[in-house]
Amino acid sequence: MPSHDTSRARFRLSGDHIAVFSHLVTGEPIPTSLNSAEKELKDCRLINDAGEFSADVAPLVATLMDPVAVVTVEMLGEHDRLVHELTISNGYVFSRESWPDEVESSYAQVEPQMLVWALAHMVNLQRADPISTGVPCVESTVGVLDAGLDSLSSAPTGSEESADHVAKALAQTGSLSDPALSLLANMIGELRSSWRMTTAWHGEDEGKRGTKVRGFGIWDCGPLGYWHRELPAEPVLEGQVGPESPLKLVPVPARRVWEMITGMLPEENEIAHR
């Protein structure tokens, strides 16, 4: 059931509710499969019987239907895959945060001056001092990484036992040796989440309008800090990465992650104006 909080300009909406908004904006007939979602929106007075939007939800609809740029955060963790977004239009900015096992997402208005803070909040960026690992980076392949991650499903509880179990799986690949092997095993054992942030916007090249994309990926390894996944480099397209693709993880301080998030927002001269 959709809901809204006018005191904080926030809403809880599902994909079906957003689809109803889209049909109303374009004037297309709403399919019967969305009748239930349409009724729910009417019941909470976000739309009326004439298909008009309430004053509360109109800015959100305008932003989602005509974005200037969209920043997408894809997170993998204990609860599998979660996707969050920040949508920027000419007049407003709204965030969308999903929740494990929930159909509805939380949408909230964001002040333009708070864009970087909102994105940092989405990925749970914490102030942390970089640790000394003894190696400048970890280099291997995606196949070796997958072997380590797959071993977690049968790993015993306890961080030390889990790391030993992962280390044995990595050693069986024959591609890593210490200290990188032990470090990667501990990183996988401590992995809170891996996430990638991607920005897409309307840009222009030599007078031709087109979609521009940039992104980066991070491992949040808890007590082992943040690691920038330099390879495979973002943005990664579907089918572009295989077991033999190179993997490179570089430790970075939290302030560097903040700077990378800041760099995700396109400059004014990068945007193609209508």
Instruction: Specify the 3-state DSSP secondary structure of 35.
Output: helix
Which three-class secondary structure state does DSSP give residue 44?
A: coil
C-alpha–C-alpha distance, residues 46 and 12, integer Å: 11
Question: With pLDDT > 90 as the criterion, what percentage of the chain qualifies?
Answer: 73
Q: What is the pTM of this model?
A: 0.92
Burial of 37 (0-12, 13-18, 19+ CB in 10 A): buried
Rounded average pLDDT over 194-211: 86
* CA distances to 80, 138, 147, 198 from 238, in Å: 18, 24, 20, 14
Closest CA to 117 of 93, 100, 89: 93
Distance between CA atoms of residues 180 and 202, nearest Å: 41
* pLDDT score for 175: 80
Amino acid at 187: M
Q: Mind listing the pLDDT tens digit for each residue in 92-147?
A: 999 999 999 999 999 999 999 999 999 999 999 998 776 777 788 999 999 999 99
The 10s digit of each residue's pLDDT in 71-97 is 999 999 877 899 999 999 988 999 999
Res. 209: pLDDT tops 90: no
Peptide bond into 179 cis (omega under 30): yes
What would the pLDDT profile of 40-68 be if each residue is shown by its tens digit?
999 999 999 999 999 999 999 999 999 99
In tens, the pLDDT along 223-274 reads: 999 999 999 999 998 889 999 999 999 999 999 999 999 999 998 888 887 6
Cα distance between residue 224 and residue 212, in whole Å = 33
The helix or strand, by DSSP H or E, that contains position 84, with its residue range, turns out to be strand 80-88
